[in-house]
Amino acid sequence: MNEPLSYVQPTPESPWGTYLGQIDRVLPYLGPLARWAETLRRPKRSLIVDVPIELDDGRIAHFEGYRVQHSLTRGPGKGGVRYHPDVTLEEVMALSAWMSIKNAAVNLPYGGAKGGIRVDPKKLSIKELERLTRRYTSEIGIIIGPNQDIPAPDVNTNAQVMAWMMDTYSMNVGATATGVVTGKPIHLGGSLGRVKATGRGVFVTGREAARRLGLSLEGARVAVQGFGNVGSAAAELFHQAGAKIVAAQDHTGSVVNARGLDLADLIPHVRRTGGVAGFAGGEAIADEDFWGVDCDILIPAALEGQLRPERAGRVRARLILEGANGPTTPSADDILNDRGILVVPDVICNAGGVTVSYFEWVQDFSSFFWTEDEINLRLDKIVVNALKHIWDTADRHKIPLRTATFAVACERILLAREERGLYP
């Protein structure tokens, strides 16, 4: 009756295949709502756009752009925009679906969406990047808007990119529409605390999970993969709580120091050189050996598909905090579960970012701005409450936190689906 989608060919370990497997696992916990589950396997709307720009040397270059609105059932679409050479429609579909789950898991009044451009932004000049962003925004302008779908930063996009997106959309509609994107610069309607919010959410969920495990953060050894916006902010907060960052890895290399990497030196080093490689305050190790580093907490905060079976077998941490979206493959997830390693899944672990995006959107609508303390306090409260509800669900059904998060989120989405009913 319901044929698989013809426009993607997922495998069990590819992003969309991983997501479909996660939906299969949650079905037994959805009761009669499972009748609506096929909705979750079909993105509502997928837009593919051609993004042509003139390069600085006069040549014309074309890039492939996407915006996928997986679900609009609980509210407007919401989710970031990623610039990366490996972006595909299939990846953006999975990322948009994970946004639906994440937004519902923390009970934000949003559906789920994601966008991306298949491009290596490091090869573009700043002017080319601006032209790319503006043309992409115009192309997806037919489906985004403060009440329709609200983009935000993701891998390789930042507040400047959001400022260009906001300006382009505003020029096209003839009015300044600050609420069309979140993660903007502060003086353009951005929110205090947004830049570090994802890392803060990772810390808050990690603090709660560690407490339940009886693992003290004082002296805890933390390994972080990905030293960008998420990984470095989480590392700083763990450090402030008394933990040691014993290993860091990014696309440039891996460094370790059993006594703790000095973040006051490492963060400026990464900013200056573009990565952790060559950091004098640690010892370089082979990238594969990063996964076997002796530590208590492992934070994958880079890209999806990083924790694969062979790596999962080497992990020595007791707790994994998924700062990235989709960092663990399904077969690696099973290995970690069998080994008794607790995984706080992406769809709740990194939800701090979109939670503060929600605060930003609310502040833009009301044109009334909150203090950073207010934002951090509200973030803490929302994430802690959401995690508690998920944990109770996991205990009740004796299921992993990932399945429990999906159970909580899918129930909210499908209940809304049922109450709204099918049109026509």
**Catalytic positions, written as ranges:** 114
With contacts defined by CB under 6 A, name the span among 13-21, 117-125, 331-339, 346-354 that binds ligand GLU.
346-354
The residue among 154 and 333 lying less far from ligand GLU, judged by its C-beta, is 154
Q: Is 196 in the site for ligand GLU (CB under 6 A)?
A: no
The candidate with the shortest Cα–Cα distance to 204, out of 380, 388, 385, 392, is: 380
351 C-beta neighbours (distance < 10 Å), count: 31
Residue 205 interacts with ligand GLU (CB under 6 A)? no
Tell me the site size for ligand GLU, rule CB under 6 A: 11
Q: How far is the CB of 356 from ligand GLU (least distance, A)?
A: 7
Angstrom distance (rounded) from CA 211 to CA 217: 9
Q: How far is the CB of 258 from ligand GLU (least distance, A)?
A: 32
Nearest Cα residue to 224 out of 313, 291, 318, 308: 291
Q: For the residues of 96-116, what is the DSSP string, one character each?
A: HHHHHHHHHHTT-S--EEEEE
For ligand GLU, the closer of residues 245 and 354 by Cβ is 354
- Provide, rounded to whole angstroms, the least separation between the CB of residue 353 and ligand GLU: 4
> How far is 61 from 242, CA to CA, in rounded Å?
49
Rg, Å, the chain Cα set = 21
Q: Which neighbouring-strand residues pair with 321? A: 344
- Measured distance CA(260)–CA(244) in Å, rounded: 5
The interface mask with ligand GLU, positions 299-328, x = CB under 6 A, is --------------------------x---
Member of 43, 77, 80, 179 binding ligand GLU (CB under 6 A): 80
- The token pair at 414 is 């499908």
Asked if 228 interacts with ligand GLU (CB under 6 A), we say no
Instruction: Provide the terminal-to-terminal Cα distance of the chain, rounded to the nearest Å.
Output: 20
Q: By CB under 6 A, is residue 74 in contact with ligand GLU?
A: no
| Smallest separation (angstroms) from ligand GLU to the CB of 80 | 3
Q: Which residues contact 386 (CB under 8 A, 6 or more apart)?
A: 105, 106, 107, 348, 351
Q: Which residue is nearest to ligand GLU (CB)?
A: 80
Scanning 58-66, 77-85, 166-174, 367-375 for contacts with ligand GLU by CB under 6 A, the matching segment is 77-85
Looking at residues 144 to 183 of the shown chain, list those that interact with ligand GLU (rule: CB under 6 A).
152, 154, 182
Q: Which residues bind ligand GLU (CB under 6 A)?
A: 78-80, 152, 154, 182, 325, 350, 353-354, 357
